Amino acid sequence: MTRVNHSFPPFYDKNSEILILGSFPSVKSRELSFYYMHNQNRFWIVLEKVYETKIGDSILDKQEFLKKNHIALWDVIESCEINNSSDSSIKNIKVNNINKIIKETNITKIYTTGKKAYELYNKYILSKTKINAIYLYSPSPANCAIPFAKIVENYKVINKK
């Protein structure tokens, strides 16, 4: 078990309306300093299907897509003890101040990617934000029990106008 701090900032701007929260960045995301960067994570591919567009592989491409669609990304956890990238190993957490983003944006909808993020958001953050989160399936390669098409269908709620 290693104590790890979240090593990069949330991604948002003043026009963000949607906040997608993960639990804590994977080892690969921490190395590359951006969200959902493990090459087998399906997050970006799912968003391509939901928004019917090609996002691109660079971090800049991903950021442009997020800005265009008023999406902010962050994680529930600021620091924790964790083995590699395993959510099930997470212990001794300190949560992020999600209200910081909410005060600086137009966020009215919050989504969590995976059970751990959803549980921790409800336990530690909901009472502060007063915004109910909507649970989304984890796009992690470790979540192979849920078929890709079902994950895409689940994420379509993000793009409903």
Angle, CA of 75, 79 and 80, to the nearest 5°? 110
Q: What are the φ/ψ torsions at residue 79 (nearest 5 degrees)?
A: -155, 155
For the beta carbon of residue 66, count every other beta carbon within 10 angstroms. Answer: 21
Structure tokens at 26: 């994977």
Any idea of the CA torsion for 43, 105, 134, 23, to the nearest 10 degrees?
50
Marked catalytic residue, from 5, 41, 92, 159: 41
Q: What are the φ/ψ torsions at residue 91 (nearest 5 degrees)?
A: -145, 165
Angle, CA of 60, 112 and 129, to the nearest 5°? 100
Question: Active-site residue 41, yes or no?
Answer: yes
Q: Which residues are catalytic?
A: 41
